[in-house]
Chains A and B, each alone.
Chain A
Amino acid sequence: MSKKPQQTVFIIDDDEAVRDSIKELAESVGLKAECYTSAPAFLDAFEPVQPGCIVLDVRMAEMSGLVLQSKLNALGYTTPVIVITGHGDVPMAVQAMKNGAVDFIQKPYRDQFLLDSINSALEQDAATRPLSTVENDLDKHLAELTKREKEVLAHLQAGSTAKEIARALCISPRTAEAHRRNLLQKLGVSSVKKLILLLTPRKERNQDS
């Protein structure tokens, strides 16, 4: 999941040696990495639709990493942030974490430690990237289904007819039909065929992620 080629590790640090070492580290496990020398340079170039995670240093000229973090939050960007610093203290760590950082790492750190953190940030990004609005609505409607309707839905997706569903769930065919009618109505589709179409991209999505 975390090894998707299109996911990028965005590295923001004013220290060239640190940037290079993190980039090398990310690339050593097949991740794409992009380096920025300052927070404003990053803000100018960053497109929030790009999947990935952000690794930023706290102490930088122009704009500190923590200010950058709050700016990203204010802009509504959900890309996970890992904060690294050579001069951290507990209040700073608490602030960064409360502002939603995935991790707060002190230099010097072990490579594997940062890598683990990057991987969990990428996983989080993949899991929380907003679905399209249609799918969002669908999620909401799916949550509104009763337990029975969800069972019927699972059978419909497997291609069962109302009669087969009735037998499997030990209910009358008429009741099975009623459940089917209700769930179609709740999901806002007019036929089972359309229902399957609506749910298919989601299935594929889950498989390749």
Chain B
Amino acid sequence: MAYNTVFIISNEPAIRDALAELVIAAGFHAATFLSLKACLDVLRPEPHCCLVLDNGIDDKLEPDRQANFTSICSKIPVLVLTERGDIPAAVNAIRQGALDVIQKPLQHENILERIKSVVSARIKR
């Protein structure tokens, strides 16, 4: 694998840092962003990559969020983080094209396993 970047989008620094640290320790590159739009502007999908989107990012700051989200899902495998039990958010994420949904609080082993599985889902596609 030449490149295997995990793109991480969250407006919570703690989540960005924790995820970045986690994926770097597992041998991935990490690229963190504050918003979908910022990520979409620079996104260059590689053969082995995925995107982790924290669903908690502020909707009001991004009126075009839905369109951005759908667009990003068509380019790269997406894994969405939701609040525990937020079924409508999970349903919406999958409907828009996300491959998987993980509930917060995050468990390290679990999230790494799911990241690897969406990355390999991309390769199979």
Contact = CB atoms under 8 A, between A and B. Distances in A.
Interface of A: 88-90, 93-94, 97-98, 103-104, 106
Report, as a range, how many residues of chain B touch the other chain: 10 to 19
A94 B85 contact: no
The 5 closest A-B pairs by CB, nearest first: A97-B94, A90-B90, A93-B87, A93-B90, A104-B91
B101 interface: yes
B82 to A, nearest CB: 6
B79 to A, nearest CB: 11
A106 B86 CA distance: 11
Contacts of A106: 87
B114 to A, nearest CB: 11
Contacts of A97: 90-91, 94-95
Contacts of B90: 90, 93-94, 97
Interface of B: 82, 84-87, 90-91, 94-95, 100-101, 103
Contacts of B82: 90
A170 to B, nearest CB: 37
Chain B residues touching A, majority SS: mixed
In this complex, the member of A89, A90, A103 whose beta carbon has the largest number of chain B beta carbons within 10 angstroms is A90
A97 B99 CA distance: 10
Contacts of B84: 90
B100 A90 contact: no
A109 to B, nearest CB: 11
A100 to B, nearest CB: 10
Nearest to B80: A94
A90 B86 contact: yes
Nearest to B95: A97
Contacts of A104: 87, 91
A89 B88 CA distance: 10
25 contacts: A88-B87, A89-B85, A89-B87, A90-B82, A90-B84, A90-B85, A90-B86, A90-B87, A90-B90, A90-B101, A90-B103, A93-B90, A93-B91, A93-B94, A93-B101, A94-B94, A94-B101, A97-B90, A97-B91, A97-B94, A97-B95, A98-B94, A103-B91, A104-B91, A106-B87
A127 to B, nearest CB: 16
A106 B103 CA distance: 17
A103 B94 CA distance: 10
